[in-house]
Amino acid sequence: MDDEKEMMDFLGIKSIEELFSDIPESVKIGGLDIGDGIDEHSLRIKAREILSKNKTSFDMPIFLGAGVYQHYIPSGVFSVASRSEFYTAYTPYQPEISQGMLQTLFEYQSYIAELTGMDVANASMYDYATALGEAARMANAINGKNEILIPKNLQWEKKSVLRNYVKGLDMKIIEYPYDSKTGKINIEELKRLINEKTAAVYAENPNFFGVIDENVLKIREFGNFVFIVGINPISLGLLKPPGDYGADIVIGEGQILGNPINFGGPLLGIFATKMEHVRKMPGRLIGMSKDRDGKRAFVMTLQTREQHIRRAKATSNICSNEALCAVFSAAYLSFLGKSGLKKLAEINMGRAEETRKMICSIRGYTNAHDSLHFNEFVVKLPFEEIKVHRFLLSKGIHGGYLMNTWSNNSFPELGNAMLLNVTEVHTDSDIKRLVDALKEVK
Amino acid sequence: MFHQAVWDEKLIIEMKGKRSLRLPYEDRDYNVEIPDILKRSELNLNDNEEHEVLRHYVRLSQMNYGVDLNTYPLGSCTMKFNPKLSEEIVSMDQVRYIHPYQDQSTVQGALQIMYELQEYLKVIGGMDAVTLQPVAGADGEFTGLLLVRAYHENRKDYKRREIIVPDSAHGTNPASSTMAGFTTIEIPSDKNGLVDLNALKEALSEKTAAFMITNPNTLGIFDENILEIARLVHEKGALLYYDGANLNGIMGITTPGKMGFDIVHFNLHKTFATPHGGGGPGAGPVGVKRHLEDFLPVPVVRYDGKYYYLDYNVKNTIGKVAGFYGNFAVLVRAWAYIKLQGGNGLRKVTERAVLNTNYIRKKLQGHYDLPYKELRKHEVVFSGSNLKKYGVRTLDVAKRMLDYGVHAPTIYFPLIVEEALMIEPTETESKENMDHLADIMIKIAQEAEKDPELLKTAPHNTAVKRIDEVEAARNPVLTWKMIK
C-alpha cells in the first residue's frame, strides 16, 4: 500500500526489516516455499476444478447417516447465516454492540432447552462426540466418581473422543451390552454394572443402529448417578424429551438442525442440563439482563466457569465454539416451527420404515433389529459389505454405512451389514433405484 | 457520529404466525405409531411465516457488529478481512453436500484440498507433519498436550505430569493442560515482559512434560531468548509447545520449527482469515516434528502420487479428538486464503500487520501508558491506568469506543498489565483507519479528563446501553422458559 512510506517515516525507520530486528538472524527464513499467490478469478477456476472431483448428494443419492444427516435446509437459513454482521463478528465480548448475535444465541439455547425438556442449554459445543466427552467430565465434577457406563454399540469415533476427554481424570469407561435381536439396551446387565463408583450412565435414543429404545426410560430409577442421554433433535418432534425421564445432561448432533454436512465439519454439539448443575457446565452461556435504561438486553454470563477467567480450574478449555452453526439452527427451527418439526419427524420415520420394509422383502436381505427405528436402520446383507457397496456405486447410488469395513467399528454378530439412512431428502425415485439395485447384486 | 440500528425486536417465541414453509412429502400421511410411553405430549414452540422469520433475524443482524462494518482491533483475535471468494467456494454443493463416510473415490477433491493445506501448514510452521482434525485453537492445544503425554508415556516416562506456562499466557493454555491431565505451573514474566529464564530454570525438572508459550507473546513482544529457552527445555527432556494464536506476527519471517518448537497449533480463524462466525466455528490444526508424528490422531490424509486417501494406520495414534476430520469448510477457506497470498504474500501480511501495530503504538504513546519496550509485533498492550485519576477505567474507554463506531480492543488481558487495552490492528487496516482509531482513542483520553461521566455512562449510540452483567450472573435467565 502507498501509505507504508508515510508510516515508516513516522516511525523513523528506513526499511520494514528494522521492525524485525528483535528476531535473531539465525532463526530467520528466506521465505515460504509454497508458490506464488494467485488472483481471485484464477483461484475461483482452480477451486472449481478440484472440487468437481467430489460427488454430492445432488449427483447421486447417498444413504449415509451414522452421525451426520442430510436434511432439506430452507434457503432462508443460508440467507440469515450469510449476513456478514453475524459471520464476521468475534465472540460478543462487547454485548452492547453485539445484541443481534446474543439474542439469536439466547433463542438457540431456548429452543434446545424446549426440545430436550431441560432447564438450560449452552451456546454450543464442537460436535456430538466432544459433547459426550464434556458430559463425562462434568459428571465427574458433579459427583467426584470415576466410572462411566457407555453402550457397547456406541460408534467407535465417539468412544475414542470420550477416551481422550476423560484421560486426564483417569476415568474408567465400561461398556454395557445390547440385545442383539432388538438392538436395544440389555437392561438387566446394565443394572448389574451400576454401583457406588458409577459417575454416569450414557444412553442414546435413537442409538447407533437407529433403534428407538424405550429402555432408556427405566435407567433413572437404577441409582443416583449422572444420567446422560444422547438424542437426535428432530426425533424430539415426536419422542418424549429426556427431561421427562430424569436426564441430567442431554447431548446430540445439532448439525441435523439446518446445517450442511460439510464433509463432517463444522458441526454443532448440543449440550443441555438442569439448572442445579449449571455452574459445572462447559461452554458459553447467554443470559438475559437489562441495560441502564431498564431495557431488555443479552450478555454472556456465568463466565467464572470459563478458561479466560478461571484458567486451570475452568470447567472446560473451550473458547471458540460453533456459534454460527447455532445461528443456522435457530433460524431453521424458526422456519419449521412446532408443526414443521413434528411433521418432519413423521416423514423421516415413515419413509425410513417404508424403505426398510422394501429392502427386507428382497431375498437374502434381512432386518437386523426387530424394533422401532427413527430414520436409520441396519440391514444384513447376503454378500460381502464391500461388494454390495461397490455394486451400488457402479449404479450411481451411494449405499449406507458398512458396519464392519469402515473406520474401527466392529459388530461381528451382524456379519455383513449396512446402516442405511433415509430422510425427507431421499426421493421416491432414489429409494426405488436403491431397492432395484440391491435386487441385482449377484 | 455512529448510530447503531435499534429495533425493539421481540423474541421469536413472542411472535406468532402460520408456517408457510412446505416440507418435501408434506402432503403424505405417514401413520407413524409410537408407543404412548415414548410419545411426546407437548412442545412449547410457535409456527411462523417465513418472511417474518427472515425479517426477525435480519433486524437482529443489524444490531450486530462485524469486521465487514469497520475496524475490529480486538487483541489476540486477529480480526482481519475475510476474503469473500472463500465464502463463495464453501457455498458450493461440492463442499456442503458431501458426507464424511463417502467412498473416498467420490471425495478426491475434498481430500486434495486437505492434503494441500497440510503441506502448506508444514512449511509455514516449520513442522514435519500436520493433523487437521482439531476444530478450534483450544482443541488444538488439547490435542498437542495429548501428544505430549503419549510421547512421554511411550518412552515409559510416567513422571512428566507438569506443564509450565508464563503468567502472560492465554487462559486456554492452563485449561487445556488440566483437561489433558497435567498440573499447570505458572511462572512470572521478567521485568521486560518476557520469559524469566531463572524462573524457567527453577520450574523445569524431570517432572516437566512441556513448556507452552506463544512467541511473540500476548504483549506483542518477540522473546529474543527463544533459542536459549528451547535449549533449556530440551535439555531437561521436556517438549516445547507453540501456541499459534500469535503467528500473524512472524509468519514468513521465521517458523516455530526454526525456533526449536516441537508442536504448534494454528488458529485458521485468526492468521488464515477464516471468519469468526460470532464465536466460531474455527479450526486448530496441529503440526509436529518427526518424533511426534506416530502419535497423531487418525485418520491422516495421505497421497500416493495418484490418489488421496484417509489412513487409519498410525502406529501409536492418540485416536480421535473430534467426530470426523476437522472443520472441513473452515479448512477450505484457509486453503483458499493461502492460495491467494502465496509465500511472499503471507510474509507481506506479517510485515504490514507489524507496521500497523507499531504505527498505532507510536500514535498512542503519551496518551495511554505503554508498559515494557516499544518494538511490537502483531499487537500492542497499553494500560489505561493513567486515566484512573479521573475515575475512569479501561472498561469505560472500551464502551466509549463503541460510540464512535469501532470495536473496542481486548481489555483486562494479559493479566500482567493493569487496566490492559490490547490492540491488534491486523494488516488489512489502512493508515487512514489507523489514524481514525488513534484519533478516537486520543479524544476519549481527553474526554476522560473533561467529562468522565460521559465515559462511565457509555455506550450511548449502540442498540442497548450499558448492561448490568453482575445482575445477569446473580439471577441467571438463560432460556425463555426461565423468564418470569
Min Cα separation B207/chain A (Å): 16
- Compute the distance between CA of residue B110 and CA of residue B101 in angstroms, rounded to an integer: 12
- Compute the distance between CA of residue A101 and CA of residue A106 in angstroms, rounded to an integer: 9
Task: Encode B88-101: b = buried (16+ Cβ within 10 Å), e = exposed.
Answer: ebbebebbbbbbbb
Question: What is the pLDDT of chain B when averaged over all its residues?
Answer: 97
Interface probe, candidates B68, B102, B276, B361, chain A, greatest A C-beta count within 10 A = B102
| Nine-digit cell string for A120 | 438450560
Question: What pLDDT is stored for residue B462 in this prediction?
Answer: 98
Question: What pLDDT is stored for residue A304 in this prediction?
Answer: 85
Instruction: Check if the beta carbon of residue A334 is closer than 8 Å to that of residue B56.
Output: yes
Q: Which residues of chain B does A266 touch, with a Cβ-Cβ cutoff of 8 Å?
A: 135, 280-281, 327-330
- Give ranges for CATH 3.90.1150.10 in chain A: 337-440
| Nine-digit cell string for B385 | 491506568
- Compute the distance between CA of residue B161 and CA of residue B182 in angstroms, rounded to an integer: 5
Over range A410-430, report the average pLDDT.
Answer: 97
Minimum-distance CB partner of B135 among A165, A266, A407: A266
Minimum-distance CB partner of B66 among A64, A87, A124: A87
Can you give the residue ranges of every domain in chain B? Answer: 85-340, 348-471
Question: What pLDDT is stored for residue A308 in this prediction?
Answer: 85
Which 197-216 residues of chain B touch chain A by CB within 8 A? none
Using the Cβ of B10 and the Cβ atoms of chain A, whether some distance falls under 8 Å is answered with: no
- B62 vs A40: CB contact, 8 Å cut-off? no
- Give ranges for CATH 3.40.640.10 in chain A: 75-332
Using the Cβ of B164 and the Cβ atoms of chain A, whether some distance falls under 8 Å is answered with: no
Chain centroid to CA B110: how far? 24
- A22 vs B224: CB contact, 8 Å cut-off? yes
**In this prediction, what percent of chain B has a pLDDT beyond 90?**
98
Q: Which CATH architecture has domain B348-471?
A: Alpha-Beta Complex (3.90)
Question: What pLDDT is stored for residue A406 in this prediction?
Answer: 85
Q: First and final CA of chain B: distance in angstroms?
A: 38
The 3-state secondary structure of B310-330 reads EECCCCCCCCCCCCCCCCHHH
Question: What is the pLDDT of chain A when averaged over all its residues?
Answer: 97
pLDDT in tens, B168-216: 999 999 999 999 999 999 999 999 999 999 999 999 999 999 999 999 9
Number of residue pairs across A and B with CB atoms under 8 Å?
A: 667
Q: Is the pLDDT of residue A380 over 60?
A: yes
Question: What pLDDT is stored for residue B464 in this prediction?
Answer: 98
Question: What pLDDT is stored for residue A158 in this prediction?
Answer: 98
**B114 falls in which pLDDT band (50, 70, 90)?**
very high
Minimum-distance CB partner of A96 among B171, B254, B464: B464
pLDDT in tens, B305-363: 999 999 999 999 999 999 999 999 999 999 999 999 999 999 999 999 999 999 999 99
Q: Is the pLDDT of residue B260 over 70?
A: yes
Q: Which residues of chain B does A319 touch, with a Cβ-Cβ cutoff of 8 Å?
A: 136-138, 171-172
Instruction: Check if the beta carbon of residue A165 is closer than 8 Å to that of residue B138.
Output: no
Using the Cβ of B436 and the Cβ atoms of chain A, whether some distance falls under 8 Å is answered with: no
**A306 falls in which pLDDT band (50, 70, 90)?**
confident
- B473 vs A167: CB contact, 8 Å cut-off? no
**A1 falls in which pLDDT band (50, 70, 90)?**
low
Over range A362-375, report the average pLDDT.
Answer: 97
The answer, as to whether pTM is greater than 0.90, is yes
Question: What pLDDT is stored for residue A409 in this prediction?
Answer: 84
Using the Cβ of B365 and the Cβ atoms of chain A, whether some distance falls under 8 Å is answered with: no
Which CATH number, 3.10.310.10, 3.30.930.10, 3.40.640.10, 3.30.559.30, labels domain B85-340? 3.40.640.10
Min Cα separation A313/chain B (Å): 7
Q: Is the pLDDT of residue A111 over 60?
A: yes
Over range B118-146, report the average pLDDT.
Answer: 98
Q: Is the pLDDT of residue A302 over 70?
A: yes
pLDDT in tens, A124-143: 999 999 999 999 999 999 99
Q: Which residues of chain A does B303 touch, with a Cβ-Cβ cutoff of 8 Å?
A: none
> CB under 8 Å to B233, separation ≥6 — which residues?
B200, B204, B208, B210, B211, B239, B240
* 3-state secondary structure at position B143: helix
> CB under 8 Å to A179, separation ≥6 — which residues?
A185, A186
Minimum-distance CB partner of B227 among A27, A266, A347: A27
ipTM, two decimals, is: 0.98
Question: What pLDDT is stored for residue B471 in this prediction?
Answer: 87
Question: What pLDDT is stored for residue A410 in this prediction?
Answer: 87
Question: Which H helix or E strand runs over B356?
Answer: helix B328-364
Instruction: Please tell me which residue of chain A has the smallest CA distance to B66.
Output: A89
> CB under 8 Å to B281, separation ≥6 — which residues?
A126, A265, A266, A320, A321, A322, A323, A324, A325, B135, B136, B269, B327, B329, B330
Over range B362-376, report the average pLDDT.
Answer: 96
Measured CA angle at B357 (ends B355, B362), to 5 deg: 95
pLDDT in tens, A174-207: 999 999 999 999 999 999 999 999 999 999 999 9
Q: Which residues of chain A does B22 touch, with a Cβ-Cβ cutoff of 8 Å?
A: none
Q: Which CATH architecture has domain A337-440?
A: Alpha-Beta Complex (3.90)
Which 394-433 residues of chain B touch chain A by CB within 8 A? 398-399, 402, 407-408, 410, 413, 430-432
Question: What pLDDT is stored for residue A309 in this prediction?
Answer: 83
Q: Is the pLDDT of residue A307 over 80?
A: yes
For residue A98, which amino acid is it?
A: S
Residue B52 is given by DSSP the state: H
pLDDT in tens, A263-272: 999 999 999 9
CA torsion angle A64 A66 A71 A77 (round to 10): -130
Radius of gyration for chain A, computed over Cα atoms and rounded to the nearest angstrom = 25
Q: Which residues of chain B does A36 touch, with a Cβ-Cβ cutoff of 8 Å?
A: 342-345
DSSP string, B171-199: THHHHHHHHTTPEEEEE-B-TTSSB-HHH
Which CATH number, 3.40.640.10, 3.40.50.720, 3.40.50.970, 3.40.50.880, labels domain A75-332? 3.40.640.10
Chain centroid to CA B402: how far? 22
- B324 vs A337: CB contact, 8 Å cut-off? no
Beta bridge partners of B212: B241
- A92 vs B279: CB contact, 8 Å cut-off? yes
Question: What pLDDT is stored for residue A225 in this prediction?
Answer: 98
Using the Cβ of B354 and the Cβ atoms of chain A, whether some distance falls under 8 Å is answered with: yes
- Compute the distance between CA of residue A211 and CA of residue A182 in angstroms, rounded to an integer: 8
- Compute the distance between CA of residue B84 and CA of residue B207 in angstroms, rounded to an integer: 48
